[in-house]
Amino acid sequence: MVFLQDHEVDFAFVSETWMTQQANHTSATIKYYGYNIIHDYRQMSMGGGTAVIFKAGHTVNTVNLDIDNISTFEYTSAAVKCSVDMRILLVCLYRTGPVTQLFIDDINSLMQVITLRYDYIIVGGDFNIHIENAADKCKLWNFLKQCNHLGLNNI
């Protein structure tokens, strides 16, 4: 938390939170340091979990994207309320296992939905795609081409 304060971070994405409930010691500590948290945790098993942490001065709300049948990753999505008429979405994503066509299909489904609903989208987290692996590199290239087609940029 000190890192976020020292570097004046407004928004942070955290994957593998290992949190087990919405109200807990970790979320209380985050609030103590002047931040808030929106997170999703694995209810049926340990590990995993995703979170968006943000400075308390920002208005950020949980968003249910209503996307069915995503099975290859977990995510937390949150909308940022701005003073101007802008729709900003933050998505923290965590994926485990091998890079499969099902993952590419799932992420494409997510991107198609959110690009229609929001003006600005920031996606971060841990995709667990290893570019040193030739097969992953090829799938990553195809994924990035799909994102580019939807008007998204990799930064």
pLDDT in tens, the chain (155 residues): 788 888 899 999 999 888 776 667 888 889 899 999 998 877 667 778 899 999 999 999 999 998 888 889 999 999 999 878 889 999 999 988 888 889 888 988 899 899 999 999 999 999 888 767 777 777 778 778 878 887 887 76
**Cβ proximity of 51 and 41 under 8 Å:** no
CATH class entry, domain 2-149: alpha beta
Residue 142: count of CB within 10 angstroms of its CB = 13
Sign of CA dihedral 58, 18, 14, 97: negative
User: Using alpha carbons only, how large is the chain's radius of gyration in Å?
Assistant: 16
